[in-house]
Structure 1
Amino acid sequence: MATIKDVAKLAQVGVGTVSRCLAGKGGVSAKAEQKVSEAMQQLNYRPNSLARALSTQRSNIIGVWLPSLSGPFYQHILQAIEFELRLHDKHLIIANAEEANSNEEYLQHLDYLINRDCDGVLMVCPEIAISDLLIAQTNYPPLVFINHSTDLLSKQSFSVDHYAGGCLAANSLLALGHKNIACISGRLSAQDAQQRQQGFVDELARQGRPINPELCIEGSFDFATSQFAVQQLLDKQLPFDALFCGSDKVALVALSILQGAGIKVPQQVSVLGYDDVDFAAVASPPLSTIAIPIKQMATAASRQVLNLAYDLTLTIPSVAEPRFIARASTQASPYLKIKEG
């Protein structure tokens, strides 16, 4: 196996020159850099990552803090992060905080990543208090937040306009003529769930169709809680002709339970999800949803952490607005058809 000395000998340069080429540091002429590159190819030399880390004082590892590994939402985020890091020859370590029950326990998972010499950390953290994020950012500057927005960390937080997404959901169902609209939110301690729920409720009120509080159920984004929330809504025995769910996962559960209870979707109740994850288009019936740019958001955050950790100047893409995707789980209500006729 070739060594750095072999490369230097073949290229007819010093070992220090080869080291500077590998580290990407200045002080190497274009001619010498070309000779080193050709020697490495000829010898099939691959730099030792540990040795390179020692020479550059960087691990080339980015930590990724996640509140959960379950569900397509986090899978899309991880795919986008891994793709962007790989483009720049960086790697990732994951900390899964699914079992944490407090801010203190959440932040212990951040310590886990920092103690493994990550050059930067991405945190998907809609439920961590902003005060704790500010402390973490002060103590560890190469820190970037995904699906969390705050003016205090505007250059290091990347999110979707979930409030606008909630407004769009309300307007989409109202445009179909629905009058009695129910809602199952995510856990409202999470910033993103709270924002989309608030946008939804506010827009219904602005349009003169304030939602009946009895038709608002706080849920979560796991299957068991979603089942309980949908059943809780049905047990109220209040009429509703449309249901907005705070995620596609909740909406998928709603489709199953509603149809199992003999309620036809969309003939009797339209069901609208949120996210537009992979299974939405192949649900039965295919799920109408509010599509959010999950991968754009994760890509923007990934580029920012690379800029901060490695002094790069990558372009940060803007994050698109939510969009309504019409599929077969929603249709115009009989009320709208009567008006049109």
Structure 2
Amino acid sequence: MPPNGRRTTLADIAQAAGVSVATVSKVVNGRGEVAPHTRARVQELLHQHDYLAPVFRHTEAVGSPTIEVQFQGGLKSYVAETLEGIMDSAAEAGASVVISKVCRAPHWARDLASAGRRAVIAVTSVYTATHLRELARAGLPLVVLDPLHLPDSRVNSVGATNFAGGLAATRHLLSLGHRRIAYLGGPGMAVCNQARMHGYRAAMEAEGAPVPDACVRPGEFTYEAGLLGTAALLDLEEPPTAVFTGNDEIALGVIEAARVRGLRVPEDLSVVGFDDTHLAQMASPPLTTVRQPLREMGAAALRTALRLANGEKAESHHIELATELVVRASTAPPGG
């Protein structure tokens, strides 16, 4: 391989692999027409020598920049609406987007760089210090959208005013006359969940309303969590008259669990969600919820990723967009 510390070239890789430069180029560019065992051999040599083609460091010179967007779990309504914002913004900017589920295969970050990615946007995905080092080695900036955990100080992020949203949702229920208000949230250590819960607690404490431990239940951001959590709440000696949930999907679980118990929403139980996805409008009754500007958040993440990919500084280390309470038919005064 190259002597005297010279940069590794395609010709060096080709010579070591015993193939032509054209074959190595096909592997680097992700093209077909290469036998699997040959491709594996070339990729291994590329990884061994930290080869990153210059063309991928300056994609703008030969085409539009490409951003990798990774998400974790299923393609739920929240993720889909966020992706719409990313893709619309990319189209306006003349950028390309590749969407994938989180994968932690060996050399995953370098594979992304070698495939021409210029930056990574992570939608509610968890990145450890090891992952950040891999991305840094590959020269790929990272933008985390709505982080589940407090991101590293080196990571740019985009989120919403979750505390203010929790505060507004709970104040709405209090203004209707509710005092026994429960919170069904997502994972206890998720940053967004903690902020929404603290907003709920702040509103309750300001009003002097009690918050029994049994009325604050972390879980998952899923419909099933809404079903199970509501069943436990309704079994309490003094069940709540209203439930504020960590997202719309949990809220739909609450509505169904109430229906199974013979309770009406909102006459017997008021329900407030969070996100204002399509699910909120399709719910029966239509769901009162806290609107996160999901498409705008996706667009902000895309713009930030492009700035970082171009070697520019981000406008802000953390961008936080405003939430807004949207009142529909799932809330009413208690006993109404």
TM score, norm. by length of structure 1: 0.71
Task: Note if 1:285 corresponds to 2:285.
Answer: yes
Give matches, 1:215-234, under 5 Å: 215-234=215-234
Hey, what does 1:79 align to over in structure 2? Answer: 84
Aligned CA distance change for structure 1 residues 199 and 283 (closer, same or farther; 3 Å): same
Aligned CA distance change for structure 1 residues 208 and 154 (closer, same or farther; 3 Å): farther
In structure 1, how many angstroms separate the alpha carbons of the residues matched to 2:242 and 2:225? 20
Any unmatched runs of 5+ in structure 1? 1-48
* C-alpha contact 2:82 2:294 (8 A) present in aligned 1: yes
* C-alpha contact 1:95 1:113 (8 A) present in aligned 2: no
| 3-state SS of paired residue (2:160) | coil
Hey, what does 2:146 align to over in structure 1? Answer: 147
The number of residue pairs the alignment matches comes to: 279
Hey, what does 1:92 align to over in structure 2? Answer: 97
Hey, what does 2:67 align to over in structure 1? Answer: 62
Shift of 1:70: 2.3
Identical columns (%): 26
Give matches, 1:246-265, under 5 Å: 246-265=246-265
Aligned CA distance change for structure 1 residues 108 and 283 (closer, same or farther; 3 Å): farther
Q: Which shows bigger deviation, 107-116 or 215-224?
A: 107-116
Shift of 1:223: 2.9
Task: Note if 1:208 corresponds to 2:213.
Answer: no
Q: Which shows bigger deviation, 132-141 or 170-179?
A: 132-141
Aligned CA distance change for structure 1 residues 120 and 169 (closer, same or farther; 3 Å): same
Hey, what does 2:328 align to over in structure 1? Answer: 327
In structure 2, how many angstroms separate the alpha carbons of the residues matched to 1:92 and 1:107? 22
Give matches, 1:1-341, under 5 Å: 57-59=57-59, 60-97=65-102, 105=104, 113-125=112-124, 127-128=126-127, 131=129, 135=133, 138-139=136-137, 140=139, 142-148=141-147, 153=153, 156-311=156-311, 319-334=320-335
Shift of 1:318: 6.7
Q: Write out per-residue CA displacement over residues 224-264 of structure 1, whole angstroms, 9 at most, x where no aligned residue.
A: 33322222323335321101111101111111120121011
* Higher RCO (C-alpha under 8 Å, 6+ residues apart): 2
Aligned CA distance change for structure 1 residues 110 and 138 (closer, same or farther; 3 Å): closer
In structure 2, how many angstroms separate the alpha carbons of the residues matched to 1:210 and 1:110? 49
In structure 1, how many angstroms separate the alpha carbons of the residues matched to 2:125 and 2:204? 25
Aligned CA distance change for structure 1 residues 299 and 265 (closer, same or farther; 3 Å): same
Letter of the 2:83 counterpart: L
Hey, what does 2:40 align to over in structure 1? Answer: none
Q: Write out per-residue CA displacement over residues 78-101 of structure 1, whole angstroms, 9 at most, x where no aligned residue.
A: 11111111223322222313xx8x
Aligned CA distance change for structure 1 residues 208 and 289 (closer, same or farther; 3 Å): same
In structure 2, how many angstroms separate the alpha carbons of the residues matched to 1:210 and 1:108? 52
Shift of 1:272: 0.5
Aligned CA distance change for structure 1 residues 175 and 77 (closer, same or farther; 3 Å): same
| 3-state SS of paired residue (1:159) | strand
* C-alpha contact 2:82 2:295 (8 A) present in aligned 1: yes
Aligned CA distance change for structure 1 residues 260 and 197 (closer, same or farther; 3 Å): same
- Output the aligned Cα RMSD: 3.3
Shift of 1:325: 0.8
Q: Which shows bigger deviation, 235-244 or 150-159?
A: 150-159
In structure 1, how many angstroms separate the alpha carbons of the residues matched to 2:326 and 2:309? 37
* C-alpha contact 2:150 2:191 (8 A) present in aligned 1: no
* C-alpha contact 1:68 1:96 (8 A) present in aligned 2: yes
Q: Which shows bigger deviation, 263-272 or 59-68?
A: 59-68
Q: Write out per-residue CA displacement over residues 193-233 of structure 1, whole angstroms, 9 at most, x where no aligned residue.
A: 22211221233123211311111222212333332222232
Shift of 1:299: 0.9
Any unmatched runs of 5+ in structure 2? 1-28, 31-52, 60-64
| 3-state SS of paired residue (1:121) | strand
Aligned CA distance change for structure 1 residues 205 and 313 (closer, same or farther; 3 Å): closer
| 3-state SS of paired residue (2:168) | helix
